[in-house]
Structure formats: structure tokens, C-alpha cells
Structure 1
Amino acid sequence: ADWIQDLNQSAMFGIFRRDFLSKARTLLGMIVNEDIPEKGTLRDFINKINSENHERYNTKLYNNTSTSVHNVSEVKPTYDSNAEEVDGRIIIRDNFHHMFDAIPEAMIFGEDVGKIGGVNQGCEGLQDKFGETRVADTGIREATIIGQGIGLSLRGLKPIAEMQYLDYVIYGFQSMVDDISSLYYRTHGGQITPLIIRTRGHRLEGIWHSGSPMGMLLNGTRGMYLCVPRDMTRAAGFYNTLMQSNDPAMVIECLNGYRVKEKLPNNIGEFRVPLGKVEITKEGSDITLVTYGSTWRIVTDAANQLERSGISCEVIDTQTLVPFDLTHDISESVKKTNRLLVIDEDVPGGASAYILQNIVEEQDAYNYLDSEPQTLAAKAHRPPYGKDGDYFSKPSTDDVFEKVYGMMNEVNPSKFPSLY
């Protein structure tokens, strides 16, 4: 038809690509109910142009070459039968020692990282063993810490830039957004900054050290990977994985997890945790509870209490937020339980909304739900000081118990009478 020829000719004469595509899409809407033979040709034209421009405009946000993190094979932590239980910080510390022995390009720097071995002693002894060039203290200036990391990573080194607390990421955020996250995309795969940013956050007991601004990171740093390990074994595994790849990422350790006991693996420095793979840490049949980071321990405690009340909870640790559940295991869980609750300690509408959108929309879990999917987040304000500030600001075991119980009350009020 003449109009198809006109559209093809328009593409040759410098008209904006959006112009002829928009006209074609408008035309399809006008004739969708008409019996016109060329309608199929028009659809094919639209699909062809969309495909061409998807490649032109919507790819290369993440590294898809052989150096991608997704090409790094998983290695599970293994344990002796009488494995010692140690503080989580020991696992991080020993893992860094093995990493620096194996990878000469590895280096780490940040506030208090060098001389005192890190504010939580995760780098204890590193500077004495590997020297001040590879393990360095910096001033209190997050923007320059990130800047150093960008330059070093562009030159082929394997830097870990530490920002001491998640609350203070905002002071290095501009470079994370404009430089790290966007570089691979805006150079169409020509350049990448494979910087690993190490930090720690989530709940503790203080207004300036208990932040969990995950929504801010999710919205601002697409192009970076975002790892949210529940313990130090998982954190160490992420560092090992990322060191074998060429991708920028942030690893957020649990601030209240450094003294929590964990079994010491016998393959420290070798185990690798895959990105985008969730872990079902407790199987159940009544409801799926999705969480990450420090909140995982809270949710697990609540799930055990709920079990005694006759409610079987499946607990899933997302492990990473970007990428998110690449194999749609959460949706498979919802198929079984038909109920979903997302729990985290960001503000309402933050990371919990992102997670819910992924599960319900991207994974089509909506089709398997028998109850309204819900979220449980922290309050909208920063947590006040002390244990009471934490309890009344962040989701507690009691909050999770009551939220789940309330959802089950709706399902079976006679078996689960209202608490209040």
C-alpha cells in the first residue's frame, strides 16, 4: 500500500524515528476494527521498527559480555562436620585475606579501613599483610572515595571502595548515579566501571546509623548490581563472585550482623554466591514471606512463632535486589501458598513496592493469589535512638506475627480469631 511505502521512505529522509513510528501506531489504533488486508503489514512494520530501536536505545544497561557476573559459576560454602561457629566479621576478614592473596589487583580503601582494620574489624590485619597501597585509609569524603574507585577500576584494577555506613552513601551518590551506573549504557558497551562499593546498614540503634534507603538506590543506580546479604557468609560470597566479573555493584552488609555467630566454611575465599538467585530458607504452605538483609532474622523468628499458631510460612531471602529473582522462584512459591507478604525496613513504598511490582507484575504472581498481596515496611521517619526507637520504627517480630496472622484471619476467621 502507498502509506506503507510512505512510512518506509520517511525513515530514509532524516525525520525523527519517533515521528513515523508514532504515525504508524496511531494508524493501527484507527483501523484495528476495520477489515483491511494491510493491517498485518502495518503490525509487522511497527514490530520491526520497535525491535530496531530497542537495540538502539534500550540495551547495554548491564554488561552482557563474557565478563558478566552471570557467567561466574556458583560455588557453595562447605563445612567440616565439626565446623566452628565464629563472629560473622571473622568470615569477612578471612575471606578478604584469601582474596588479596589470590588477586594481586585487589585493593580496598575507605574510612578506618587500614590502620584499625575497619570499624567492625572486617579488614583486621589486611594492611599489615598487604601494605598501605592496597589497603588504605581515606578522609571523611565519600565523593572522593567513589571518585578514586572509578579511576582505579577504569584502569584495570579491582578496587573495593568502602563507604562506612549506608546512611552516608548520599554524599557519594552523584557519582554513583551519573558516572558508575550510566557509563556502560551511554557508551553503548564501550566502557564500564567495575567498582565494588562496600557498605553496611539497616537496623541498629541510632538515627544516623540505622538507615535503609533502598528505594533511593533502586531508583538512582540502575546499571549497578545491588546485593543485600542476610549474613557475612553471603556477603563474602558476593565479593568472591563480583571479583571474577567486570560489573559495578554495591554490597550492603548487615550492620548488626558482625557479632552474630555463623559456621566457618572450610573453603573460605572460594565459595561464590550467584546474583539474581533467591534462597528459600524455610519451606511452608500457607503464605510466602519475602525479605532480605537484617529483616530476614526478624521474619524467621516470626515464622517460627506462627508455626506454633498453626500457620505455615515459606520464608524467602531475595539475596539481591538488582538483579531480582531471575528464575521466578518467588512466583513458584506463591503458586503453592496463594498468599504474599513483602517485609523490609525501607520507608513505605520504597524497596517493598519494587519487590511487589516484580513479583505480581513481572512474574505474573497475581494470577495465583487468593488474598490481597501486602507489604510491611518501616515507618516513614528515621528511627529514634535506642532499642525503643528501633522497636517503634522498624518491623519487629511482633509486627510480622500480627500482620501474617491478620491475613490468615481474613482467610479463616474461625481458626484464626481476630487478635484485637
Structure 2
Amino acid sequence: MVHSGATLRFQSSFLSVESMHSPKSRPPLAVFSVMAWVLFSSTGCREAPPQFQPNRVRAMSLEKSRSLPTEAALADVSAVVDQLFGTPAQPRWPADRMSNDAQGGLVSLDRLGQAAGGVTSDQADSHTGLYQEHCVICHGIAGSGAGPASRFQVPYPRDFRAGVFKWKSTPRNDKPTRDDLSRLLVHGVPGAPMPSFAIVPPSQREALIDYVIYLSVRGEVERELLARAVDELDYDETPPDEELRLTLVGRAEVAAAEEEEAIREGEQVINEVIEQTVQAWVDAEPSLVPPKPESAAADLAESIQRGREIFHGKVANCVGCHGPEGRGGLPTLDYDDWTKDFTTRIGITPADSAATKPFRKAGALPPRTIDPRVLAGGVLRGGHDPETIYRRIQHGIAGTPMPGVEVGDEIDPQMGLTPASAWDLVAYVRSLLHQ
């Protein structure tokens, strides 16, 4: 028996997205085509199961920035990644290439199996295909963020493959924790199309968390192997010699080569990339937030006033993006990192439609400027509790132009904030939300 939850969830979340756009801006044919895709995909009647597609946008970006052809590298990397991580229906986790139990146990094959494949359920209501049921319509099969509904969403869904996540408790360049991903599934992202999945049973949410981590690790390994292929391993129009080539051999051969200290350089690069990528997830820890000062009502008013001065001052300079009193209205000229990856970082102007067209044909979403939040009377997508805002001030938002402000006990007041000053800024930002 096939479960139809994908269609129901899509209808509720997609209609909420549509409501953010004027009727004139809605593309009815595109909407109907997406809804038809959902209805078709939920019937289980596909002739062939979906497959992971190579990250051609990444390969094209490297080709332009390095002035080197990448087709040979893309072919070898795609083959390696498929061998390591399997298919959407039958995922693998290369624990045998990881150096410790924490890495190997980062995800569970049982939970991956529950999240993978097409949407089904049996008479005991045992579900499989959770990712396709709940997530693929927005995030896509490979977690690219370019699912069928993605073009109609503001902001675009997250591309998991770069390993960059906005809403988390960890420092800017670190991975999120499992708890961070769990909170996102439970609460959704306020003010964005990402809905809450609180009604999904906890065990199924855990399976989805494993699958998101799996897609992110898979995608980041693919991205890094492509870069190292052209930067270090002499890939050009053709692959390099066997010593440098990115190919896999059996684990018995690898073990024998390691004993003889004769492992091929290409294989060694594969193992290093897996190790570094997975260990970053294992090491993720929330940043410490100092205790919030206890304040009486009168003290709070003074704290808000001090925070207002910091907001409009030169060190934090929040006003430069969020506008006076957090009311926005300033021109937006910047882009997020996912867009910059195939535009400004390789010398392409995002507004140049002709220059970005090949990347869009390869799977990139059309560039959009990124709008700073309107804080006055607004909604904070990452959460509005004091500790979350403190971390946002300190670390900024990964993948976006929003920077962090250095916070320290003995910091030069011209260079950063003390913890007490950061808490004053938190008080002011929270006061804006209630205006």
C-alpha cells in the first residue's frame, strides 16, 4: 500500500509559499506541472527509480576558475561517489574507510534504509521513503535544494551538498549538531517555506536527520574530490596515471597496501576527504553562551538603550543592513554563498543572464539577491530566544553576508563587544520584534 503523505504535505506547504506572491507573479502551468509530479511520484508507478546526478555546476565552476577541463574528473569522481554512497534507493555508508567508531556510527544504515527509496507503508504502518515523502519536492533527490517546488520558494531550499547550514548552535564554519537538525524538523523555519514536521513520529525524524547528514557528507565529498582532482591529481582532458587516479580498490587490497605503505595517492586522497568531512560532523558542538545578566525592569530598559546604540554604532553596524530601528528598506545588492559559488567567486556577475545560463541548465537555481531581515515587528527565521540571538550576533549566519562580531571579555571596544554588550544588543533586537 502506498502512502500519500507526500501529496498532502506538499499541498499545505506549497500553498503557503504561493500566498507570499501576488497572483500576477504566479506561473499556473509551472504550478500544475509540479503538482502533477508530486501526484505521479506518490503513486509508486515510476518506470525507473531516480538516481543521483553528478554535480555539474560544481564541475563547471572549477573548470572556469581553473581554466582546466573537468569532464574526466567528473566521470571518475561520480563513479567513486556512487560506489561509496550507493543510490537513492540503496544508500551505503563507507564506515570501512573511516578511522573511528564515532565516524562510522554517525548515521545508521537501518535509519538510512527507512528514509531512502520510494514512499511505501505496510499494514503495520511501517514507512519507508521518508525523504521522498517529506523532503524531495523542495530539496531534490541529491539534496541540491533544486527540487520541483524550489523555484517558487523564498528563500530557496537548502542545498545540503556544500555542508553549510544557516540555523545552528555551532560556530559559523562548523557543522550543525543532531539537536540543531532536530529542532529545525520540529519547529520548521518561521517566515520561510520550511514547515514543521512535529507531527512526524520521532523515530522517523531521526531517520530523516540521518539521511540529511548522509546527503550532506556525500555531496561535500563529491565537491572536494572534484577540486582536488584538478588542483592536485593532474586531471585534465584525460585522467592521470593509475597512481593519481581517483578509483577504488577492494578493502583487502587497501589493507595490504597500507601494510606495505604503498597505498596509491588517488586512493589516499579519497580516504582523507572522507575522514575530514565526516569528522567535522562528529566534532560539532554548540558554542558556549555566557549567562544572561539578571536585570530588573528598569535595568532592562537601560540595557535596551545601550543595545540600540550598539545596533546603530560602528562596531556592530547592524543598521547598515537592517536599517534604522531594524525597519529594513535598504537596497539589496548581495547574494548568498550558494549563488556566489557559481557567480562572483569565479568572475561572473549574478545579474548576467547569458553568463549564468549554462549553470542554470546544469541545475543551478536563478540568482536572487538576499534580503536582510526586517527586525521591527518581524520574525527571526533561526529562532528568537536570547541564546540563539546571542550566537547569531557572535557567529553571523553561515552561507550569507551576515558577519559575526567578535565577542570577548578583554576585547578592544573599537574591535568587538564584551559579553555584557552583546547581551545589551540581544535585548534591543528582542525589543524590536515586539514593535
With the shorter chain as reference, the TM-score category is under 0.3
TM-score by length of 1: 0.24
Greater share of residues in helix: 2
Greater share of residues in strand: 1
TM-score by length of 2: 0.24
Please tell me whether Structure 1 or Structure 2 has the larger radius of gyration of its CA atoms. 1
